[in-house]
Structure 1
């Protein structure tokens, strides 16, 4: 009997030592000696060393009488431990895996200004933060949430890490930078008994064992943990590991892209290994696609997440099929940063049934130039499923250490101490040397140019003229039909060869032939830059040829801006460039001719037949699509800054396209809310907030577009001094009628009430929202676009109900006598009413072909025009 007992004890001892961690949690309230009960757990003071942990240097116990935010951890955040020299928290633990949570609530104490606190924290040999400023990190996070449209802000910060301990101790080392101090409010050390992270995960977009990562060898930081389609889950409802699951709504690219669903049925885990991956509450709610019956079924649900560049990220997606009871009912694709992570993803099949909780891991490598991680789910039309839909229950993003380091690059570069001082001095010496080198190079370049001009005065450029090839806009042509190239390629200002060239290279002789030697009878537009000619190139295509005036500086900056924008933008509803000419001091751009001119000419001031209500809606929708792409289709948004009806052009099928990017401006960086810049634009369309504060945002375009919407309804100039005082400004006049519910009283009489009243009222509501005095109260362009699609849907539904579509067409003066419905029923884009998510994500998630900011066309390759191309008055 004794032998059996002894054997059992030995086996148990071996199991404990070789198995999972058996340590109880450590919950430490820093800056106090007594214990306190919070959220049902006992937190001990950090000077109470009788509970298997020690503090090597006590530092200073600090406290504050109150805090500025409501939190379950309010008691913890009122106290902190301040350190002016390195100190270690040492916990006696069994080898195993642990969640380590560090709580920070910055408050100044005595002479210690918390905003000047900088420090490093190590967990055994893993660097968690370096040169870390709590106040800067909180400010950065709040600023990011503000850019997402969230009103929530926080004064506290919690950092969570997953660490593997191979010894009997977990040492948390707090190291203040030289001349400053460190602090911490609370520490959690939670043993993880199940295998949350193990094995290898392949990188997204790469195949083969060589491209997988071993998670067991990496330190892990939790960046996001989201309950998709449900409310926030508090720590006490995830009692195994006491995790916080945020609601995902703030992180969605558009909140209307996915509908929330829930199921009260009994949910079980698909595998015993999943039992601690997430609480069952996460799987009881989900988000599915709002409207999946749209054009080409290419829209996605998208989550936009800010991350630190130059790290690997583990993306963990949680799934549970709550609706379908058999496979092949919901099949979709998963994209991570616009790369396909999974095709033919069927939750039912993978989880093994309905109401089965399941998770899937992916790893993506984020380069040093990217600070955003996009997670997208969209239908897989090739799968042949009954429905084209997608579903997600939960989302987690984890940062993986590199060479034992999890700290941000900005943190590391900002670290102090002796090494920081040396690095700083080295940095300044390097900068000084660089400035000196640049000065020498600039001097040599100036001498070279002066010498060249002296030697060849007859070839010098006229005053104010700078050929655009000097600005590196174009490189070697790859599609020159005749094989002609600029000799030796194209030089940039720094002497390197440019690598970006858009369109075909035309010779000056070809340009003269296309325009009958620039015959003034072919001029279709004039601007500060020069003239625009209607021409015909050698293949018989009609084109618009924009020729800058070599003797004029006026418009040159706008011309160069337009070149820059068009070199990186491609979209069905944006102007596209066919080619260019750079020869004999000429600066010429070539575009496809836009047969139906500007939207304004079809509204008033011409003999053209009036547009139908549907044609006007189509034009507004097309323009909104173009603007939405500008605002969201690149890593940094682009603000048009001159939205008006003369800059909305119509092709032969009346497809609307945005033109004239001469005033466009790159939008604010992620940590800014606006761009401070001088006011430019057109009177009548100008955002009053931008005018008052010189703060430019995407909402400035939204305001201008709201004026366009009223102009489309009323068909009159936006500024008309000949009218009574209260009618001079269209926006002010129309908004008064709209708020009285009487916008129909001032509608264009040529419409003759041939429109759905419901759609007209909804249209007026959209325009009114766009003209909100403050930008924060205006919708995004994506939301405007969705509502316009809905307006069109209301109108078409009304036509179907009343069966009067034929009579409606016959009562209108057709836009084209030979084909009254040209550009409408003949254009599939305009017949299909898209859901909001269609508009939002049409250009995302199609692998490298549709990456954000790509120069590849999104949709049918449309080629558009400037307002000056068809309007003699120009800007």
Structure 2
């Protein structure tokens, strides 16, 4: 067994909003803490995908739509991905809305941000797609379009029964004239095979809605959903929380702990963006790299498209001081909105070659100041070294009480 002086590690964090009852948006500090037991190491990862095919095979999407709204013809984004304009295409919105090109395209960040679709009235995009879960990514560049001021853009976005964004201000979200994006997960029913995305301006007379780009990308069935509804531990409750096929999710955070940000094109096939965790981790910790030569052993339960290898090879550490580790936690504080359910997915991968047996390394996990695992053991869950695994939790951030 490893001596009790080892360090504590964390790798990645994913927090997703479970769309349901919409409450007034207040802000709360969501806490995620890791406390070592016997000062063993810990690895944390974000959301996962599962495949029934070869574990190393890339995921072949059944639907991949990149719509450059407000433009005509084809164009290429800065990342090399091909985008299609919506003018005159089968995806053109209904009723017809206006398109705009930035007066100074150099002020934008390239496709799809140099053109926009906007209107003072409601407009809807209709996408024929296959059934199953999809990523829906919306891209916004808040600026003035024609006679419309960027600060006047205030609108809601819906898809079927789901309100994806309510009273959304791209200008405030991007904190001024910068680009912003939002990512959602929606499961399309077999009897529908169509995805509607509707933009509705606020009721004030001078408000309008706009969008610069829309991306529809299919995902593996078992990324969040399953053929049958599944349940995950419900923080603070004795019962589990169901993740149903009718559940929609919004990505709130996807953090690569201890490592650099990862661009969509450097992801493992699903074009996700991974952010650094520097702004959220509290207390003293140091980034760590796995030992040289470590090879991540993907499995059928956690295939290669779950996350790029770079995610699993970086972490944070409290160091090897046994006394100090027993007195400190690794804590991430994430601002979230009150009154919502959140899905927290933690990914783990033990890469220390000295840790191969159950109980070699254990730690305690707290979510929102509540203990969810008092002796978490990566090897017990993964059945081996360098094998990635994940654990899901559902937590409700209340508008009252002492949790915030």
TM-score class, shorter-chain normalisation, is: 0.7 to 0.9
Counterpart CA distance in 1 for 2:394 and 2:318 is 24
1:302 aligned onto 2:331: yes
Task: Give the match for residue 68 of structure 2.
Answer: 29
Counterpart CA distance in 2 for 1:120 and 1:259 is 39
Task: Give the match for residue 549 of structure 1.
Answer: none
| Closer/same/farther in 2, CA of residues 283 and 43 from structure 1, 3 Å limit | same
Larger displacement relative to structure 2 (35-44 or 288-297): 288-297
Counterpart CA distance in 1 for 2:88 and 2:95 is 13
Measure how far apart 1:333 and its partner are: 0.5
Counterpart CA distance in 1 for 2:350 and 2:150 is 48
Map 1:604-619 onto structure 2 (within 5 A). Answer: none
Counterpart pick for 2:158 among 122, 145, 149: 122
Task: Give the match for residue 158 of structure 1.
Answer: 181
1:105 aligned onto 2:146: no
Give aligned pairs, total.
333
Counterpart CA distance in 1 for 2:309 and 2:390 is 12
Task: Give the match for residue 86 of structure 2.
Answer: 46
Task: Give the match for residue 11 of structure 2.
Answer: none
1:222 aligned onto 2:251: yes
Measure how far apart 1:246 and its partner are: 0.6
Measure how far apart 1:260 and its partner are: 1.8
**Are the aligned partners of 2:101 and 2:116 in contact in 1 as well (CA < 8 Å)?**
yes
Counterpart CA distance in 2 for 1:161 and 1:306 is 18
Counterpart CA distance in 2 for 1:277 and 1:172 is 27
1:186 aligned onto 2:213: yes
Counterpart CA distance in 1 for 2:146 and 2:219 is 39
| Closer/same/farther in 2, CA of residues 288 and 35 from structure 1, 3 Å limit | same
1:63 aligned onto 2:101: yes
3-state DSSP of counterpart to 1:294: helix
1:267-318 CA-to-partner distances (Å, cap 9, x unmatched) read: 0224435543322321121223224422581310111101010001111111
Measure how far apart 1:67 and its partner are: 5.2
- Which structure 1 segments of 5+ residues have no match? 1-19, 143-153, 371-634, 636-850, 853-875
Counterpart CA distance in 2 for 1:235 and 1:295 is 38
Return the TM-score normalized by structure 1: 0.36
Measure how far apart 1:49 and its partner are: 1.6
Task: Give the match for residue 114 of structure 2.
Answer: 78
3-state DSSP of counterpart to 1:175: strand
**Are the aligned partners of 1:66 and 1:78 in contact in 2 as well (CA < 8 Å)?**
yes
Map 1:356-375 onto structure 2 (within 5 A). Answer: 356-369=387-400
Counterpart CA distance in 2 for 1:35 and 1:261 is 41
Measure how far apart 1:54 and its partner are: 3.7
3-state DSSP of counterpart to 2:395: strand
| Closer/same/farther in 2, CA of residues 271 and 22 from structure 1, 3 Å limit | closer
Task: Give the match for residue 257 of structure 1.
Answer: 285
Task: Give the match for residue 31 of structure 2.
Answer: none
3-state DSSP of counterpart to 1:341: strand
Counterpart CA distance in 2 for 1:290 and 1:334 is 18
- Which structure 2 segments of 5+ residues have no match? 1-58
Task: Give the match for residue 441 of structure 1.
Answer: none
Task: Give the match for residue 326 of structure 1.
Answer: 356
* RMSD of Structure 2 on Structure 1 (CA): 2.3
**Are the aligned partners of 2:259 and 2:287 in contact in 1 as well (CA < 8 Å)?**
no
1:313 aligned onto 2:339: no
| Closer/same/farther in 2, CA of residues 59 and 296 from structure 1, 3 Å limit | closer
**Are the aligned partners of 2:67 and 2:85 in contact in 1 as well (CA < 8 Å)?**
yes
Counterpart CA distance in 2 for 1:21 and 1:66 is 34
Return the TM-score normalized by structure 2: 0.77
**Are the aligned partners of 1:269 and 1:358 in contact in 2 as well (CA < 8 Å)?**
no
| Closer/same/farther in 2, CA of residues 57 and 292 from structure 1, 3 Å limit | farther
Q: Which runs of 4+ in 1 moved over 6 A?
A: none
In terms of Rg, which structure is larger?
A: 1
3-state DSSP of counterpart to 2:337: coil
**Are the aligned partners of 1:134 and 1:157 in contact in 2 as well (CA < 8 Å)?**
yes
| Closer/same/farther in 2, CA of residues 56 and 27 from structure 1, 3 Å limit | same
Measure how far apart 1:251 and its partner are: 1.3
| Closer/same/farther in 2, CA of residues 192 and 48 from structure 1, 3 Å limit | farther
Task: Give the match for residue 435 of structure 1.
Answer: none
| Closer/same/farther in 2, CA of residues 102 and 244 from structure 1, 3 Å limit | same
Counterpart pick for 1:87 among 107, 123, 148: 123
| Closer/same/farther in 2, CA of residues 259 and 280 from structure 1, 3 Å limit | closer
| Closer/same/farther in 2, CA of residues 108 and 237 from structure 1, 3 Å limit | same
1:556-601 CA-to-partner distances (Å, cap 9, x unmatched) read: xxxxxxxxxxxxxxxxxxxxxxxxxxxxxxxxxxxxxxxxxxxxxx
1:79-127 CA-to-partner distances (Å, cap 9, x unmatched) read: 1111121111100011111000000011102220110111111112211
Measure how far apart 1:75 and its partner are: 2.7
Task: Give the match for residue 12 of structure 2.
Answer: none
Counterpart pick for 2:276 among 235, 247, 264: 247
Map 1:630-649 onto structure 2 (within 5 A). Answer: none
Map 1:412-811 onto structure 2 (within 5 A). Answer: none
| Closer/same/farther in 2, CA of residues 63 and 325 from structure 1, 3 Å limit | same
3-state DSSP of counterpart to 2:105: coil
Counterpart CA distance in 1 for 2:195 and 2:134 is 10
